[in-house]
């Protein structure tokens, strides 16, 4: 039972507001969003900051639902992943992680590096280019999610790929959103 207290201490130390680990569906996504929104409301967060955080959360959760590859050695359930949101003095940190096939790592890394290499205007141009020139993929997206997350946060997307086995890697993504309203 000590692990419960250890987890509690970790959540407090890292200022984590919400953690969800498990299968992600549209219904679970709605519940996670509602809980986070209620939490920000109870803290009296400014509406402009709430909108940014909410938008990034939606993109992050949709990414998990649409694009995580099937992998769970214990249950083989789809969309088993983790989502966390934390609040520090001047920022919200939204973190997610999900398994992807190793064959998809290089392409995803290239997309993220391209996005991180762009400034505000470059992101805006890429966003418009994707909308204009890209059809929806078979999983329902046009590749806009990461671009939109970078635009809304105004910061680089942090990511990592941890090899799980010969077929899968665990993709972790961290997006930071400043609570400062200066420069908007």
pLDDT for residue 142 is more than 80: no
pLDDT of residue 173: 96
Of all residues in the chain, the percent with pLDDT exceeding 90 is 49
In this structure, is residue 12 part of a structural domain? yes
- Name 146's bridge partners: none
**Residue 80 is part of a domain; what is its CATH number?**
3.30.565.10
pLDDT of residue 78: 52
In this structure, is residue 15 part of a structural domain? yes
Closest CA to 146 of 174, 176, 115: 115
Greatest alpha-carbon span in the chain: 54
By the 8 A CB rule, do 94 and 85 touch?
yes
In this structure, is residue 46 part of a structural domain? yes
Domain that includes residue 66, residue range? 2-178
In this structure, is residue 183 part of a structural domain? no
Question: 123 or 80: whose pLDDT is higher?
Answer: 123
In this structure, is residue 69 part of a structural domain? yes
Which pTM was predicted?
Answer: 0.84
Number of domain units in the chain: 1
In this structure, is residue 18 part of a structural domain? yes
pLDDT of residue 73: 55
pLDDT for residue 76 is more than 60: no
Of 29-43, 73-87, 131-145, least confident by mean pLDDT is 131-145
Strands 168-178 and 91-101 come out as: antiparallel
pLDDT band (50, 70, 90) for residue 157: very high
In this structure, is residue 184 part of a structural domain? no
Q: Give me the mean pLDDT over the 169-174 stretch.
A: 94
């Amino acid at each position: 039972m000590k692990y419960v207290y250890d987890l509690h201490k970790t959540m407090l130390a890292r200022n984590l507001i919400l953690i969800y680990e498990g299968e992600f569906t549209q219904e679970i996504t709605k519940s996670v969003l509602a809980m986070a929104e209620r939490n920000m409301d109870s803290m009296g967060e400014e509406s402009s900051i709430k909108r940014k955080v909410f938008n990034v959360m939606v993109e992050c959760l949709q990414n998990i639902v649409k694009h995580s590859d099937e992998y769970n050695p214990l249950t083989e359930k789809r969309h088993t992943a983790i989502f966390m949101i934390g609040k520090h003095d001047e920022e919200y940190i939204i973190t997610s992680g999900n398994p992807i096939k190793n064959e998809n790592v290089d392409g995803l890394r290239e997309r993220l590096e391209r996005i991180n290499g762009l400034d505000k205007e470059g992101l805006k141009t890429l966003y418009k280019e994707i909308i204009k020139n890209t059809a929806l993929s078979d999983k329902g997206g046009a590749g806009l999610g990461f671009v939109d997350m970078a635009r809304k946060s105004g910061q680089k997307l942090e990511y990592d790929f941890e090899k799980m086995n010969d077929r899968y890697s665990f993709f972790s993504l961290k997006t930071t959103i400043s609570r400062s309203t200066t420069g908007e």
